[in-house]
């Protein structure tokens, strides 16, 4: 994957930041998130032209980094690691919406130029990064859960959800607001909740 050449390193010694993250240092993680988060969002958005996919990619990348924080000190190149993970996550999202293999391959070419050779990244399971959030989603009322999944997982717009479920756009909006509130409340007091709240609530657009 080609890393945008204009993206600088965050720190002269990113190894120090990664070591701190591996010890659970939330300040170090937050520094990395705010430096790279917006850059990753725009990188993905410029490729796929979908705010929803860009949002999902940023959330998955940084939630995974935090969930696997004990392994952070083994990362050799943080910038390459983050962008490789972002490209792979974008591929996962595109796979959900691609109608056939040819379309999928065409979309994939927009994002990935070379195969990942990062052994740490290859070991990671993206789904683990949202285990806590998934538990909260499962506790939502059936219709609210369905609306949240259509929005966040399938990337449907408010209008598309409204048409599919035969409800108004304002109803869709209200359900999503309440779902987000519940998820944030569910995460409060749990380990790493502050980090999860930062990642899930920050918008770069």
Helix, strand, coil percentages, rounded to 5, for the chain: 75, 0, 25
* Per-residue pLDDT, 135: 80
Q: Which two tokens stand for residue 153?
A: 């997982």
> In residues, how long is the chain?
205
The alpha-carbon radius of gyration of the chain (Å, integer) is: 17
**Is this prediction's pTM over 0.85?**
no
117-151 pLDDT, tens digit each? 443 333 333 344 456 777 888 899 999 999 988 88
Q: What is the mean pLDDT of residues 95-111?
A: 53
173-193 pLDDT, tens digit each? 899 888 877 877 776 656 566
- Residues 185, 192: Cα–Cα separation, whole Å: 13
Contacting residues for 185 by C-beta, under 8 A, at least 6 apart = none
* Per-residue pLDDT, 74: 92
* Per-residue pLDDT, 194: 66
pLDDT of residue 196 exceeding 60, the answer is yes
Q: Read off the pLDDT band of 100 (50, 70, 90).
A: very low
Residue 98: CB atoms within 10 A of its CB come to 16
Q: Which two tokens stand for residue 198?
A: 């930062």
Which of 55-59, 163-167, 187-191 is the most confident on average?
163-167
- Residues 161, 186: Cα–Cα separation, whole Å: 25
Q: What is the mean pLDDT of residues 82-96?
A: 82
Angle of CA points 108, 109, 111, to nearest 5°: 70
Domain boundaries of the chain, sorted by first residue: 14-201
């Amino acid at each position: 994957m080609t890393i945008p050449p204009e993206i600088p390193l965050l720190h002269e010694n990113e190894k120090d930041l990664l070591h701190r993250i591996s010890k659970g240092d939330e300040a170090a993680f937050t520094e990395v998130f705010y430096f790279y988060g917006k850059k990753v969002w725009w990188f993905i958005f410029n490729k796929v032209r979908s705010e929803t996919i860009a949002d999902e990619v940023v959330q998955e990348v940084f939630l995974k980094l935090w969930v696997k924080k004990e392994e952070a000190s083994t990362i050799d190149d943080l910038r390459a690691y983050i962008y490789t993970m972002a490209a792979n996550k974008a591929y996962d999202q595109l796979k959900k919406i691609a109608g056939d293999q040819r379309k999928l391959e065409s979309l994939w070419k927009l994002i990935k130029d070379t195969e990942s050779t990062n052994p740490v990244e290859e070991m990671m399971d993206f789904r683990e990064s949202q285990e806590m959030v998934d538990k909260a989603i499962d506790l939502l009322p059936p219709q609210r859960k369905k609306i949240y999944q259509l929005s966040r997982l399938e990337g449907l717009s408010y209008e598309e959800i409204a048409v599919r479920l035969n409800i108004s756009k304002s109803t869709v909006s209200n359900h999503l607001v309440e779902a987000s509130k519940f998820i944030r409340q569910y995460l409060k007091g749990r380990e790493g909740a502050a980090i999860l709240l930062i990642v899930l609530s920050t918008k770069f657009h």
